């Protein structure tokens, strides 16, 4: 899916995105870019991030800046996770294996989608204990047990249960272009899941009681992905999760929903120090990542940006994305007076006039 552009020539994220746009067929580009309905939630994710301003602190010793972090016990070279994507092979034929190779260059973690086209075991084997497995519940408790046992044996470091897709969002732009997987990537053939059999209707039945059962069932730390309220976060913590992943599925499920950055702070406050918190939803720059750190997240997931890096240059393209993000994070941290990711606090951000307004 590359266009021949030498990935190392990319100096900015915007250049990567433009490289991906040129490399991809319009329908494939739109599959990742589109959101539910009119795409209002996709826009709101970005607008809210732009409204949250950084507040620099000066006269700090920032000669040595450490951008490392961790999430549910997994050390991260930078506070960026590669979020799970069910149709990643559209953007790079080797699917999650390409993401694993890029992740290794910066010592971060891949959240492997249950719908990946490569064997789950091959993904985990690239870095035992580091990568996480994204679980859609697509069967009864017996089915879930079988999958969990396989995931544990493969060597994944955590289990991430996605709970925000009881029904797949209706995405106007994909419908207009009759894009691939227009309804649901689960409509295709998936060898990993075929081994277990699966029924997509099960994900609409998942409850906190099921989550509590799963946390008792597995030896892996459990993360719940798709949380958007403090109440749901508390219910997940009470069920025994090790991590809460704040996400509106990149705006792909509910149109006109609130943005993730707007609810992040209240969710972090609700769970306190009991569990780690991650977030995604429109994050494309190092400054965005620092804003999430300020509100209490330990890591930020990138989804679309992962697709664009792979489409623009395969593993090397995604590696360059992660390098640019690391450079931007380090520079931003230094210039707001922070030596470590723990030093970035709520005092470093403030809601402000939207960027560009009144200019």
User: How far is the C-alpha of 270 from the C-alpha of 229, rounded, in Å?
Assistant: 9
Inside any domain, residue 73:
no
Q: What is the CATH number of the domain that holds 208?
A: 3.20.20.70
Q: Tell whether 146 is covered by a domain.
A: yes
Asked, for residue 233, whether it belongs to a domain, the answer is yes
Task: List the one residue out of 197, 175, 162 whose CA is nearest residue 85.
Answer: 162
Per-residue pLDDT of the chain (359 residues; tens, 9 = 90+): 444 444 458 999 999 999 999 999 988 999 899 899 999 999 999 999 999 999 999 999 999 999 999 999 999 999 999 999 988 999 999 999 999 999 999 999 999 999 999 999 999 999 999 999 999 999 999 999 999 999 999 999 999 999 998 777 777 666 655 655 444 454 556 889 989 988 888 888 899 999 999 999 999 999 999 999 999 999 999 999 999 999 999 999 999 999 999 999 999 999 999 999 999 999 999 999 999 999 999 999 999 999 999 999 999 999 999 999 999 999 999 999 999 999 999 999 999 987 765 44
pLDDT at 203: 85
Query: Domain for residue 113, yes or no?
Result: yes
> Does the residue 54 lie in any domain?
yes
H or E element at residue 244: strand 243-246
Q: What is the DSSP letter of 349?
A: E
Predicted TM-score (pTM) of the model is: 0.93
Question: What is the residue whose two structure tokens read 């799970």?
Answer: 84
Q: Is residue 41 part of a domain?
A: yes
Beta strands in 47-190 (DSSP E): 52-54, 69-71, 74-76, 80-82, 111-113, 132-135, 158-162
Domain housing 193: 7-60+78-339
140, 148 Cβ separation under 8 angstroms:
no
Catalytic residue among 131, 190, 196, 249: 249
Extract the tokens encoding 173. Answer: 């732009």
Nearest to 234 by CA among 279, 204, 262, 268: 268
Give which of 330, 342, 359 is closest to 62, Cα–Cα: 330
Domain count, the chain: 1
CB contact at 8 A, 43 and 250: no
71 in any annotated domain: no
- In a domain, residue 309? The reply is yes
- 3 CB-near residues (< 8 Å, 6+ apart): 19, 22, 23, 312
For the question of residue 190 being annotated catalytic, the response is no
Question: What is the predicted pLDDT for the residue at 354?
Answer: 76
């Amino acid at each position: 899916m590359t266009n021949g552009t030498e990935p190392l020539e990319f100096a900015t994220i915007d250049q990567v995105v433009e490289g991906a746009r040129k490399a991809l067929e319009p329908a494939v580009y739109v599959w990742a870019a589109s959101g539910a309905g009119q795409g209002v939630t996709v826009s709101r994710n970005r607008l809210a991030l732009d409204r949250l301003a950084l507040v620099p602190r000066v006269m700090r010793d920032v000669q040595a800046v450490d951008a490392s972090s961790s999430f549910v016990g997994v050390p991260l070279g930078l506070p960026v996770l590669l979020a799970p994507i069910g149709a990643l092979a559209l953007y790079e034929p080797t699917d999650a294996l390409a993401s694993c190779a890029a992740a290794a260059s910066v010592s971060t973690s891949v959240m492997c989608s249950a719908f990946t086209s490569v064997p789950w075991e091959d993904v985990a084997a690239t870095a035992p204990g580091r990568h996480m497995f994204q679980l859609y519940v697509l069967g009864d408790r017996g089915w879930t047990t079988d999958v969990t046992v396989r995931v544990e044996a493969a060597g994944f470091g955590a289990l991430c249960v996605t709970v925000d897709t009881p029904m797949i969002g209706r995405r106007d732009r994909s419908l207009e272009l009759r894009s691939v997987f227009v309804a649901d990537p689960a409509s295709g053939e998936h060898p990993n899941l075929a081994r277990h059999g699966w029924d997509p209707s099960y994900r609409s039945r998942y409850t906190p009681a099921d989550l509590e059962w799963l946390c008792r069932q597995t030896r892996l730390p459990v993360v719940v992905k798709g949380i958007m309220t403090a109440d749901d976060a508390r219910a997940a913590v009470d069920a025994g999760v090790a991590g809460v992943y704040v996400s509106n599925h990149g705006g792909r499920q509910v149109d006109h929903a609130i943005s993730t950055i707007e609810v992040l702070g209240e969710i972090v406050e609700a769970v306190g120090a009991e569990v780690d918190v991650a977030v995604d939803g429109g994050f494309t720059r190092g400054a965005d990542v620092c804003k999430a750190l300020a509100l209490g997240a330990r890591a930020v997931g990138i989804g679309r940006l992962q697709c664009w890096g792979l489409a623009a240059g395969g593993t090397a393209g995604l590696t360059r994305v992660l390098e640019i993000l690391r450079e931007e994070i380090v520079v931003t941290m230094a210039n707001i007076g922070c030596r470590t990711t723990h030093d970035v606090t709520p005092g470093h951000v403030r809601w402000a006039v939207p960027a560009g307004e009144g200019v």
